[in-house]
Structure 1
Amino acid sequence: MIIESAERKNQYIVTGGKKLNGEVKLSGAKNAALPMIVAACLGEEYTTLRNVPTNLNDVKTLVNILVELGADIIVKGDVVACKRGGFPNHLRAPEKSSSIRYSLLLLGLAAAFSERLSLPLPGGCKIGDRKYDLHIHGLEKLGARIEEETASLFIESNGLKGSNIEFYLPTTSGTENIIIAAALAEGRTTLLNANTRPEVMQLAELLNAMGADVSCKNRIVDICGKNQIKGGIEISVMPGWDEAVTYAVAAGITNGEIYIPDFNTKYIKEDVRHLNMAGVRVFEWGSSLYISGKSKKNPFDLFTAPYPGINSDMQPIFAALALVADGTSSIADLRFTDRFQYVSELKKFGADIVSFGNTAIINGGQHLKGSHVNATDLRGGAACILAGLICEGQTTISNVEQIERGYENITTKLTSLGASIYAL
């Protein structure tokens, strides 16, 4: 079932000066949903995923790629049912595969089934050197043959065998690719220095329910390969922790108060620690998360790190928070040293921010004015929205398809909280 894309909007118009108040419900986590959709296609029977953010561009693209390659997928609202079907029914994946990085997982899926596939080089956010060498290293250790061509990767497998694999750097999608491929490999695979963040843990939970044998903890993943994975189960995608942190910062910088139902701090403890240090009060009450931005905002020093540290995805969001802090904050990205393209856009608002190497320095408390800015990538675009919420006057944000890759119905959700934002 191909998902039709809604009419594309090119810009967001944001008028600053509104406090955000009220309830915001989270969508399913994109970075959990995408590998779960691919993994569900290992099954011989339909596996049903609930709470899938099916309005996101990346989810639509991945589903459509899999369908075009023969997978059986049914989408109804936020429910996605998947099974292998005829995957892969073509030797080459469609060209749209180059638009999302998670298309790399199709290599592991094809290899698991002892098939061949040519994949256009993957894309995603343009945030510097995002290598896929660890994907290749891991899949080759399992016995796959991979050729790097000018604009594509070709994989061929005559049956995978378990192996001991060690990553020189923990990678989320690389870990997920090896898990998917090794689920049908002969024997046991042990992956050391894996990224065992929450999304990876839920992938293991899904596969175990489908009939695989995956153990995942403390940067070590063990997979005992099976001859077949039945599938035929139901599971809900975890809520978007990244979305929660973004809306928490939005409440903080606008001096507002919001609550997020059916969510807690389990997966964002380090983010919450920094939010509280910065003067954004975050606490649990019952089954909800409450955020108050009424306190004075303090400067902070932050560096990204693999889970349970602060994910690199969130550093542009914290940069927006630093804009209202009374003093100088620093942010160092230890994963993607070039993830500071958004800095030039924040400067257009009048922000006092500079970046060099893998670090940004923000002198907060400047008077910001609306501007015309560009969403350089997913999180950089979200940072521009946040800056627009606290500016004097109107802000126009272009290239918003980047934002819509990862934030479902963001204008509707912000409007419900009292923001002045609409798509044009």
Structure 2
Amino acid sequence: MRKLVVKTTDYLEGNISVSGAKNAALPIITAALLGEGSSKLSGIPDLKDVNNLVSILSNLGAEINFTDSELELNTDEINKYSTESDLARKMRASYYTLGALLGRYGQACTVLPGGCEIGNRPIDLHLKGFSALGAEVKLDHGVVKLEADRLKGANIYLDYPSVGATINIMLAAVMADGETVIENAAREPEIIDLANYLNIMGAEITGAGTDIIKITGVNKLIGKDYTIIPDRIEAGTYMMAVAAVGGDVVIENVLVEHVRPLIAKLKEMGVEIIEDINQVRVKSNQGLKGTDIKTMPYPGFPTDMQAQFMTLLTQASSENLVIETVFERRFGHVDELRRMGAKIKVDGRSAVVAQANLEGAQVEATDLRAGAALIIAGLAAKGQTEIQNIYHIERGYEDITDKLKGIGANIELVVE
């Protein structure tokens, strides 16, 4: 059994570096299926989700070498169009193989994906998009099968700006005949990063980062070298840890515009943020003022930072409101924080958080971001905290234990 043991930490100081973005790496690795020849992707984090995806693509016939944050792959020998079900069930992003395989080979098959249990996340918008492009869609007992003689461009309106659906439709449409227009598209930085990579391979995509993306289909794409963006959620997690515990830390490899909503909220709480070209310096004396947050699609406050920020609010004055609008079951961390003495009242998708003196306890990471929230809580709490089910954390944070220890955190990985 693997667990994290976290003890009271009074001050964080030094430099910490952010890895490449998991949520950019997964679709970009899958997008390499579309390119002829080889691609070399840099800045790829060594995470469980990434390694599961590598196994999925290898099983399809791709040749892959992954070392020291560089992933080289050649997909010219793909000989299967159905993902391994056991691997696909382990991660939600496995569904990106649908768009990529359909786009290049005209067929794809996978089981419905797994991932964190944070709410209802159906793939109906994905399937609606594939159907609009001319694919025959079959869903039978949790297995999705897609077939198309030739995809054709279409106008597709998303009922919700889903990141996953936007990505999957982009992957399928880049080699379709004619023009595809995605309206009410997701605007996250990871969408822009994917579009940049596809365009380097020869795609014709405009509008990424806005709510209307236009794609003109091309006949083929060629594998290229590319470096992915830094992980804004990892950067935000470290920023909140410094704010909660107190300290003076320089967080390196950060695109400041990607964490702008968090910077605004931390400044409201009295945290000093000094911005530079590719880094931020966070200074906190723990005298935190209260504030409210409401999660929204980008460029609003990200749902992936809600759990960590709720932990931070337990150290702030007054009562503070957290409203979750993206996922209806993203308060799984609340009961675990309560075990540590947190004062949180939940009503539907809203939570009121009061200042509390946290104490160490045995807790469980119910999902990826909940696990990060518990690490922050353990650093701020009196005594010792043991966090179990850390495989969730390892799905999304590369070397988080060693990175935090490097700035003075009292945290250890224990294997029993």
- Is 1:414 equivalent to 2:404 in the alignment? yes
Cross-structure match for 1:80: 71
Cross-structure match for 1:218: 210
Cross-structure match for 1:268: 259
Distance 1:157 1:286, change over 3 A: closer
Cross-structure match for 2:377: 387
Cross-structure match for 1:69: 60
Q: Percent identity?
A: 36
Q: Residue type matched to 1:418 in 2?
A: G
Secondary structure in structure 1 of the residue aligned to 2:197: helix
8 Å contact 1:88–1:115 — kept in the other structure? no
Q: 2:180 aligns with which of 189, 207, 218?
A: 189
8 Å contact 1:47–1:83 — kept in the other structure? yes
Cross-structure match for 1:5: none
Cross-structure match for 2:307: 316
* 1:12-411 pair list within 5 angstroms: 12-53=4-45, 55-215=46-206, 216-231=208-223, 233-285=224-276, 287-294=278-285, 296-364=287-355, 366-411=356-401
Distance 1:143 1:237, change over 3 A: same
8 Å contact 2:166–2:186 — kept in the other structure? yes
Segments of 5+ residues of structure 2 without an aligned counterpart are none
Q: Residue type matched to 1:414 in 2?
A: L
Distance 1:277 1:214, change over 3 A: same
Could you tell me how far apart the structure 2 residues matched to 1:201 and 1:416 are?
A: 32
Residue 92 of structure 1 deviates from its aligned partner by 4.8
8 Å contact 2:59–2:83 — kept in the other structure? no
Secondary structure in structure 1 of the residue aligned to 2:374: helix
Q: Residue type matched to 2:42 in 1?
A: R
Number of aligned pairs?
413
Higher deviation after alignment, 378-387 or 259-268: 259-268
Residue 74 of structure 1 deviates from its aligned partner by 2.1
Residue 296 of structure 1 deviates from its aligned partner by 1.6
Q: How big is each residue's C-alpha offset from its partner over 1:7-39, in whole Å with a ceiling of 9 and x where there is no partner?
A: xx6210001133111100110000011100011
Cross-structure match for 1:6: none
Q: Residue type matched to 2:398 in 1?
A: E
Higher deviation after alignment, 186-195 or 294-303: 294-303
Secondary structure in structure 2 of the residue aligned to 1:267: helix
Residue 291 of structure 1 deviates from its aligned partner by 0.3
Could you tell me how far apart the structure 1 residues matched to 2:169 and 2:137 are?
A: 14
Q: Residue type matched to 1:308 in 2?
A: P
Residue 358 of structure 1 deviates from its aligned partner by 0.9
Could you tell me how far apart the structure 2 residues matched to 1:184 and 1:15 are?
A: 53
8 Å contact 1:93–1:117 — kept in the other structure? no
Could you tell me how far apart the structure 2 residues matched to 1:205 and 1:91 are?
A: 27
Could you tell me how far apart the structure 2 residues matched to 1:274 and 1:51 are?
A: 28
Q: Residue type matched to 2:18 in 1?
A: L
Q: How big is each residue's C-alpha offset from its partner over 1:219-257, in whole Å with a ceiling of 9 and x where there is no partner?
A: 1111111111112x2211111111111000100111111
Could you tell me how far apart the structure 2 residues matched to 1:91 and 1:217 are?
A: 31
Q: How big is each residue's C-alpha offset from its partner over 1:116-165, in whole Å with a ceiling of 9 and x where there is no partner?
A: 33211101110011111111111111111121121321222222110000
Distance 1:369 1:179, change over 3 A: same
Secondary structure in structure 1 of the residue aligned to 2:289: coil
Could you tell me how far apart the structure 2 residues matched to 1:406 and 1:135 are?
A: 23
Higher deviation after alignment, 84-93 or 63-72: 84-93
Q: TM-score, normalised by structure 1?
A: 0.95
Secondary structure in structure 2 of the residue aligned to 1:268: helix
Q: How big is each residue's C-alpha offset from its partner over 1:346-390, in whole Å with a ceiling of 9 and x where there is no partner?
A: 0000000122211111001x1211000000000011111110001
8 Å contact 1:332–1:360 — kept in the other structure? yes
Higher deviation after alignment, 78-87 or 166-175: 78-87
Cross-structure match for 1:3: none
8 Å contact 1:88–1:110 — kept in the other structure? no
Secondary structure in structure 2 of the residue aligned to 1:235: strand
Distance 1:164 1:408, change over 3 A: same
8 Å contact 1:68–1:94 — kept in the other structure? no
8 Å contact 1:162–1:188 — kept in the other structure? yes
Could you tell me how far apart the structure 2 residues matched to 1:415 and 1:244 are?
A: 16
Q: Residue type matched to 1:159 in 2?
A: R
Q: Residue type matched to 1:193 in 2?
A: N
Segments of 5+ residues of structure 1 without an aligned counterpart are 1-8
Residue 297 of structure 1 deviates from its aligned partner by 0.3
Q: Residue type matched to 1:373 in 2?
A: V
Could you tell me how far apart the structure 2 residues matched to 1:161 and 1:65 are?
A: 27
